[in-house]
Structure 1
Amino acid sequence: MLTVASTASLRVYVSEWENGRRPISARYAKILRSLLGITDDELHGKADALSAPISADGYEELISRIDSARSVSLTMVKTFMDQTELFRTMDRQLGAASLVDQVTGHLATLEDALTFAVLPETRRPVALALAGAATMAAWQALDVGAVERAWRHYELGKRAAQEANEPMYLAHATAEQAYVLCDAGRTSVAVQLVRDAQRVGGKAMSPRLKAWLYAAEAEICARAGMPDDCRRALESAMRYLPPGDEARDADMLSIFLNEGHLSRWRGSALALIGDDEAVSSLYDALDSADPTFIRASAGLRCDLAQAHMSRGEYDQAHDHLRQARLVANRTGSVRYRRLIEQLTQQL
């Protein structure tokens, strides 16, 4: 038999529990969880848990949420995607550090809409919007050094892409997730993952996405010390890239890739494997760089520093690292600051 205090004492205890003046012991927590039908976290985490009326069931609240999710029309989904695009633009110009709270709230809204959406015609467009937003948020988290959050966002993006039945978005999220492994020093596994992303995309991929995936593979192979694989992947990227200045596909807004971007990517990969062609490729990219990609310019300067260092041109490398550091500090990029320090130690 479980012994409890008298009725008078219990009244005092309840008052003190409600006001936070007395901790709830394990013995009474067990009783209250069963009595109130709440979890231990809810019991200890909400000051009003004991005084709030407990409904017999949660159907009224559930139906309210479902009805709200049903009102998420295609127009509202477009608003979500427009907001993602705004955050993407702000990120590349101002950096991710200033957007953490806004992007977190954006993801929470999309997750909530998907959780309570019932029918496929509502779920799929919301899931697609979530896939794009989660992948963007993951890259931003990686940039500010929140590695575990980046990994979790990529997993969320992959699940959302599967829900939306969008293999292009699934392939993109999978390939970007390989960079988390690469930055963590697991380059061999990263190579496997980026190649698996190409398999996942299959025949559904656009030529631009294929080129993007091969370029990603080339960079990761370079970081894994696989120069021949790197060069083969670069050749494939150049073969698939559509001609012209256009950098995006209408049905794949998550990636940017045209000849200028690929020139920079090629130079970056070649610099990592010590190829002399890297310098000319990177300076071509610098001349044609989109001025709105401010944070990316730090990466381009790091690539140029790497390329000059491989040729023993340390003064030029030092100058590019100085300029890269200014941009990285301005945008709050932890990832680029770390790279800059690694390269600086090699000078």
Structure 2
Amino acid sequence: MATGLRAIRTARGWSQDRLVYEIRRFAEQQLLDVASSASLKTYVSEWENGRRALSDRYAAILRPLLGVTDAELRGEADPVPAQTDGYADLLSRIDAAGSLSASMVQTFMDQTELLRSQDRQMGAAGLVDQMNGHLAAMEDALTFAVLPGVRRPIAMALAGASTLAAWQALDAGAVERAWRRYELAKQAAQDAESPLYLAHAMGEQAYVLADAGRPQLAIELVRDAQRIHAERQSPRLRAWLAAAEAELCAAAGVEMEAAAMRALERANALLPDDGETRDPDMLSIFLNVDHLARWRGNVLAKLGDGSAMSELYAYLDGADPTFVRARSGLHCDLTQAHLARGELDDARAHLQQARLLANRTGSVRHRRRIELLTGLL
């Protein structure tokens, strides 16, 4: 029985209602399902009075929430020291956040980069727990950071990581989680006063709407993203957003073909031909001349234009082999391009490659596209 729970709660100065609130808040942050507030209030009372056994599921929430061991939670160890109020704990966490060094923020960003590398090679399915823990650590640091000078670098790191987590969730088919992660990224970008990260999160979030069958709303969102302090956006980000608009217009159907081609022309004009792949101020984006040529092929393939073939094959020959998930999408594009020309055997061969790579990374999003293409063969 959770006989230690009452002592731990009391030591924190929390009422049962406050504990219920914190359980639900923690569960929402971690994307966990818990009972309603009314039911949880009953559970807490019964746990503390020994009328209900504390399940492993709720113990796994209460331990990190309260910062106690399982033995302390269940009353099998000495109770935690009592506090007269919660101010000492609050100030301790504020002091810890305030002393967060630049090297620690860089560690957050390095961890995001590691997760990004693992994701593009192995897929997102096996990274859910790591990513959730990574985001929770940054959210916690941001929650207790008081002054803007401390908050901004943490918020920027959180914005970049949340956008990555959202794209991973979308790829894994966890649509609501993806949407919430994009909202978190947008909030963090606003806290960081970064129009770059805000626009990028909006641009990627538009893909959720497109996948959900709202292409026009998706196009409106990515166009709004291009207007977010456009004068402060880097040329590479502006090119990325224009290319995203082109793809979303192409996905909306042939009636948007002219808009798609205009957006591609803007992307081509905006992209710096500097030999670089990433913007130092926007590490979330990979875009160079070769990537944009591949994106153009993707747009043309979606529009049923057989001329996409040469650009797609050119990119395939020189594609970075570590971008495993991206190669699955490339083979899908080649499938569409061959279909547009009636070359069914070649289309089937590329679709098989796309399927193998999608299975390797566990990409639900690519599998869905593969099934749609299968129906056309």
TM-score range (shorter-chain normalised) is 0.7 to 0.9
- TM-score, scaled relative to structure 1: 0.87
Distance 1:284 1:250 in 2: 27
1:66 equivalenced with 2:65 (yes/no) = no
SS in 1 for 2:283: coil
- Give the conservation status (yes or no) of the 8 Å contact 2:17–2:41: no
Q: Tell me the residue number matched to 1:230.
A: 260
SS in 2 for 1:248: coil
Q: Tell me the residue number matched to 2:290.
A: 260
- Give the conservation status (yes or no) of the 8 Å contact 2:338–2:346: yes
Distance 1:323 1:303 in 2: 12
Distance 1:329 1:186 in 2: 27
Distance 2:163 2:282 in 1: 12
Task: Report the CA distance shift for 1:36/1:274 in structure 2 as closer, same or farther (over 3 A).
Answer: closer
Task: Report the CA distance shift for 1:228/1:37 in structure 2 as closer, same or farther (over 3 A).
Answer: closer
- Structure 2 unaligned spans of 5+: 6-13, 21-36, 50-74
Q: Tell me the residue number matched to 1:317.
A: 347
- Give the conservation status (yes or no) of the 8 Å contact 1:223–1:272: yes
SS in 1 for 2:228: helix
1:301 to 331, 336, 344: 331
1:288 equivalenced with 2:287 (yes/no) = no
- Kindly report the root-mean-square deviation, in angstroms, between the aligned alpha carbons of the 2 structures: 2.2
- 1:75-154 equivalent positions in 2, closer than 5 A: 75-154=103-182
SS in 1 for 2:375: helix
- Give the conservation status (yes or no) of the 8 Å contact 1:93–1:295: yes
Task: Output one character per residue of 1:301-336: Cα deviation in whole Å (capped at 9) or x when no partner.
Answer: 000001111111111110000001111101111111
Q: Which amino acid aligns with 1:74?
A: A
- Structure with the greater alpha carbon radius of gyration: 1
1:44 equivalenced with 2:74 (yes/no) = no
Distance 1:300 1:107 in 2: 30
Distance 1:61 1:131 in 2: 27
- Give the conservation status (yes or no) of the 8 Å contact 1:42–1:49: no
Q: Which amino acid aligns with 2:242?
A: Y
Q: Tell me the residue number matched to 1:346.
A: 376
- 1:12-51 equivalent positions in 2, closer than 5 A: 18=3, 38-39=19-20, 41=40, 44-45=43-44, 49=48
- Give the conservation status (yes or no) of the 8 Å contact 1:43–1:49: no
- Give the conservation status (yes or no) of the 8 Å contact 1:167–1:204: yes
SS in 1 for 2:227: helix
Which segment is superposed worse, 104-113 or 269-278?
Answer: 269-278
Distance 1:258 1:155 in 2: 28
Task: Output one character per residue of 1:175-232: Cα deviation in whole Å (capped at 9) or x when no partner.
Answer: 0000000000100000000000001141111111111000000000001121000000
Distance 2:123 2:241 in 1: 24
1:156 equivalenced with 2:191 (yes/no) = no
- Give the conservation status (yes or no) of the 8 Å contact 1:158–1:174: yes
Shift of 1:346: 1.1
Distance 1:122 1:163 in 2: 11
- 1:238-257 equivalent positions in 2, closer than 5 A: 238-257=268-287
Shift of 1:276: 2.4
Distance 1:48 1:65 in 2: 28
Q: Tell me the residue number matched to 2:222.
A: 194
Q: Tell me the residue number matched to 2:366.
A: 336
Distance 2:260 2:340 in 1: 17
Distance 1:17 1:331 in 2: 41
Q: Tell me the residue number matched to 1:215.
A: 243
1:185 equivalenced with 2:184 (yes/no) = no
Q: Tell me the residue number matched to 1:27.
A: none
Distance 2:127 2:369 in 1: 22
Task: Report the CA distance shift for 1:42/1:62 in structure 2 as closer, same or farther (over 3 A).
Answer: farther
Count of matched residue positions in the alignment of Structure 1 and Structure 2: 320
Distance 1:169 1:108 in 2: 19
Task: Report the CA distance shift for 1:344/1:35 in structure 2 as closer, same or farther (over 3 A).
Answer: closer
Shift of 1:56: 4.8
Shift of 1:164: 0.3
Shift of 1:245: 3.3
Q: Which amino acid aligns with 1:61?
A: D
Q: Tell me the residue number matched to 1:11.
A: none
- Give the conservation status (yes or no) of the 8 Å contact 1:308–1:317: yes
SS in 2 for 1:250: coil
- TM-score, scaled relative to structure 2: 0.80
Distance 1:60 1:165 in 2: 31
Shift of 1:71: 2.1
Which segment is superposed worse, 264-273 or 49-58?
Answer: 49-58
Distance 1:319 1:47 in 2: 61
SS in 1 for 2:152: helix
Distance 2:320 2:282 in 1: 19
Distance 2:311 2:2 in 1: 68
